[in-house]
Copies of this chain bind each other. A is one copy, B any other.
């Protein structure tokens, strides 16, 4: 039995399509590993391009994965014709982002007509062993999409 009941029967398709339109995900090599109603797992390989001064992946890049995971998880529960934007998020960095791959796993905590709250966790995989490296709590907002635009002028935020 699914935990959430999506309002949009095409929720998997529109969520995947929104993910695919994020050029930043392509640039970072992030892909969808699992997608369900209110839940998503993303996967990212290590790449030296995204490191900070100690050779770990930069907290902002980890945050990009967590934020998109939250956004896609929230988007699966929004009505057809919605646009989505991130209102805010908070990230706690628990351990160095050191690994061969990284997983970003988000779950909807509270879906809402306007606002949806999600939680996400980032894991680093080293030799098949995963460890928790960061957490996020974020608020996402649904906006009715205007038909005649590709860049909605009223979108209040970046996600």
CB < 8 Å neighbour of A58 from B52, B67, B83, B117: B67
State the CA gap A92–B97 with chains docked (Å). Answer: 23
Instruction: Judge whether A158 and B62 touch: CB under 8 Å.
Output: yes
Give per-residue flags for A70-88: 1 if the beta carbon is below 8 A from chain B beta carbons, else 0.
Answer: 0000000000000101111
The bracket for how many chain A residues form the interface is: 35 or more
Instruction: Judge whether B21 and A53 touch: CB under 8 Å.
Output: yes
Q: Tell whether A18 is near chain B: CB-to-CB under 8 Å.
A: yes
Distance to closest chain B CB from A108 (angstroms): 11
Name the B residues within 8 Å of A135 (CB-CB): 109, 117, 119, 137
Which one of A97, A110, A157 has the highest number of Cβ atoms from chain B below 10 Å of its Cβ?
A157
Name the B residues within 8 Å of A139 (CB-CB): 87-88, 92, 139
Instruction: Add 9 more A-B contacts to A22-B51, A22-B52 (CB < 8 A).
Output: A24-B50, A24-B52, A55-B151, A86-B93, A89-B91, A94-B157, A95-B157, A96-B156, A110-B132
Chain A residues with a Cβ under 8 A of chain B: 18-19, 21-24, 27, 48-68, 83, 85-98, 109-110, 112, 114-115, 117, 119, 132-135, 137, 139, 141, 150-152, 155-159
